[in-house]
Amino acid sequence: MNESPVFTRTHDLLLWLTAATGKFPRQHRFALAARITDAAFTLQEKLTLAGVDTAHTPQHLVHADAALNLLRKRLLLAYQLNLLTAAQYQHASAMTRDVGNLLGAWRKQGG
């Protein structure tokens, strides 16, 4: 089955985030790391629902976009707290930008 690039890129982002946040210090692992991965899982969930629940696709895409924005804010916070290196933050930013571009294109198509 050929999967849309947005699903593949989101999966790759989730894999990377799970590994990266697992290395956070214990004091941040159960607060910020959990919120980062929750936002990423919500993003993946809403994209998946948009792909199968065509009657509500635009609504799911709006929710996916909101989850992506939350994820970006939380990644910035992790970087500012020195939980992510500059290189890791740049990598995460590039990955979220790719997902955001694909999500935006889907929304423009009328979702």
Query: How does pLDDT run across 22-58, given as a tens digit for each residue?
Result: 999 999 988 999 999 999 999 999 999 999 988 888 9
Other CB atoms within 10 A of residue 108 CB: 8
pLDDT of 111 reads 63
The whole-number pLDDT of residue 1 equals 36
Q: How many CB atoms lie within 10 A of CB 27?
A: 8
- Res. 3: pLDDT tops 90: no
Site of tokens 């930013």: 93
- The separation between CA 34 and the C-alpha centre of its own chain, rounded to angstroms, equals 13
Amino acid at 100: G
Domain 5-108 is classified in which CATH homologous superfamily?
A: 23S rRNA-intervening sequence (1.20.1440.60)
pLDDT digits (tens, 9 = 90+) for 52-106: 988 888 999 999 999 999 999 999 999 999 999 999 999 999 999 999 999 999 9
| CA pair distance 98, 93, nearest whole angstrom | 9
Biggest distance spanned by C-alpha atoms of the chain: 43
